[in-house]
Amino acid sequence: MAFAILSSGGDAAGMNPAIKKFVDYCTKLQIETYLIYEGLEGLIDNKIKKASHQDVAGILHMGGTIIRSSRSKRFFDSQYRKKAYENLKAYDITGLVVLGGDGSFRAMDVFSSEFDISFIGIPSTIDNDIHGTEYCLGVDTALNVIRDALDKIRDTASSFNRAFVVEVMGRNCGYLAAVSAITSGAEVCVIPETIFAREDLEKRLKKEIDNGRRYVLAIVAEGTHQTNKVYEWIQEKLELETRVSILGHIQRGGNPTVYDRMMAFDFIINAVDYLREHSHSSKVIVYNQGQLSFKDIREITADKYKLSEHYLQAINYLD
């Protein structure tokens, strides 16, 4: 019996602490461990290496993933999945831990249904947009990176009587934008889940500007494709000099926060224990209301993530 770990899809801070804990915990249990480099592509190309303490020493504080990641179109071809399984079989690897999102889990669902391989998925995406879990590995670090940037941008905005439109990540999910707007004291938040109430905001902000407001901070989720429209609206209607700042991929990097490190440890320990106790499983470990549990992959992938009503209501109180 041997277990392996891989990263798939976008990187997220917390992956390296998870990789380290995986190797350390399996070693303690006297389970052979392997690192699969470059995600599903590496699984196909046999980029599999037996893990040692030296491979994971000193990586706890690092962002990204030392085993690298990829998105793989080839994995959707049955001949390449067969090749991937043969690679695992050659090392007697019976269980996989996959750090990734719902796309990775869908791929592994097909893979584990075709071959005798157990799989545990650990939700790992800064968008925090996986159905069935309140928290995904890496989101806390991303929020803190955004918070730091917004605090600095607000300093500049207030110094020059300017408005800033800040675009944050989030393809179809406004989680990062909503939480960042709430915790930074932004005046405007535009997310895919709600209609941008431009007229009401315009009336309120014009009145505040007349009464002495000197700047406006607007947070826009990239998935809305509204960044330029919000910029033009503030310039034309609020008559404030406006700048646009797109945070981009800095949101993926950075030293993992204490919370992401601790959650990585908990995810891994529970995932490894589950693999040991269940000979054939295809599960995703999730975190809800302070508890870890396991769900079937198809339960995770059956529906799209929906932003909590709590956050939708909270952004209505921005001022």
Q: Are residues 30 and 101 in the same domain?
A: yes
Q: Are residues 132 and 172 in the same domain?
A: no
Instruction: Tell which residue, 3, 31, 30, 35, has the closest CA to residue 19.
Output: 35
Within 10 Å of residue 200's Cβ, how many Cβ atoms? 9
148: in domain = yes
Q: What is the pLDDT of residue 301?
A: 86
308: in domain = no
Instruction: Tell which residue, 47, 78, 59, 83, has the closest CA to residue 264.
Output: 59
Instruction: In whole angstroms, give the CA distance from residue 294 to residue 272.
Output: 12
Q: Are residues 198 and 93 in the same domain?
A: no
Q: What is the pLDDT of residue 279?
A: 79
Q: What is the pLDDT of residue 316?
A: 76
Q: Please compute, for residue 128, the number of CA atoms within 13 A of its CA located in the half-sphere on the CB side.
A: 22
Q: What is the pLDDT of residue 319?
A: 59
Q: Are residues 243 and 156 in the same domain?
A: yes
56: in domain = yes
The pTM of this model reads 0.95
Q: Are residues 143 and 132 in the same domain?
A: no
159: in domain = yes
Looking at residue 41, which CATH number applies to its domain? 3.40.50.450
Q: Are residues 52 and 151 in the same domain?
A: no
Q: Are residues 122 and 167 in the same domain?
A: no
316: in domain = no
40: in domain = yes
Contact between 189 and 178 (Cβ < 8 Å): yes
Phi/psi zone of residue 260: left (φ > 0), alpha (ψ -120 to 50 degrees), beta? alpha
Which residue positions in the chain have pLDDT lower than 70? 319
Q: What is the pLDDT of residue 315?
A: 84
Instruction: In whole angstroms, give the CA distance from residue 284 to residue 121.
Output: 4
User: HEC string of 46-67?
Assistant: CCEEECCHHHHCCCCCCCCCCC
| CA dihedral (287, 293, 297, 303) positive or negative | negative
309: in domain = no
307: in domain = no
Q: What crossing angle do the helices spanning 258-277 and 15-28 adopt, rounded to 10°?
A: 40
Q: What is the pLDDT of residue 197?
A: 85
Looking at residue 163, which CATH number applies to its domain? 3.40.50.460
The residue assigned the tokens 């069935």 is 132
Cα–Cα separations (whole angstroms), residue 55 to 24, 187, 206, 277:
11, 46, 57, 27
The residue assigned the tokens 């034309």 is 236
Amino acid letter at 189? C
Q: Which domain holds residue 189?
A: 139-252
Q: Are residues 11 and 106 in the same domain?
A: yes
Q: Are residues 99 and 145 in the same domain?
A: no
Q: Are residues 37 and 134 in the same domain?
A: yes
Report, as residue numbers or ranges, the catalytic residues: 127
Q: Please compute, for residue 45, the number of CA atoms within 13 A of its CA located in the half-sphere on the CB side.
A: 10
Q: Are residues 65 and 167 in the same domain?
A: no
Q: Are residues 144 and 125 in the same domain?
A: no
- Count of the separate structural domains present in the chain: 2
